[in-house]
Amino acid sequence: FRTTRQDLGLKPDSDAQKPQMPFVIDGEIMEDNLIWCGKNPDWLKGILAQNRLGLSDTLLLAGDDTEQYTLGRKDSRT
């Protein structure tokens, strides 16, 4: 048996973030994850354009069903 916040009558942490899913890994689009989170290739292109980044230069782009995302660029020294 494991006690949860709900068991104790505690509200969820207001600063808690949703888990993020990878949308791009090492330049490869994870289409199923985009669809799962209600995103599409046009959204992805827009995020990359805003960050002046090409798909081949993207190490990781992860997000959820909100507009929050995490972006990692490939190291240009390699």
CB atoms within 10 A of CB 54: 12
Query: Digits of tens for pLDDT over the chain (78 positions)?
Result: 677 767 777 766 655 667 899 999 999 999 999 999 999 999 999 999 999 999 999 999 999 999 899 999 998 665
pLDDT on residue 77:
60
pTM: 0.74
DSSP of 6-69: TTTTPPPPTTPPPPPEEEEETTEE-HHHHHHTT--HHHHHHHHHHTT--GGGEEEEEE-SSS-E
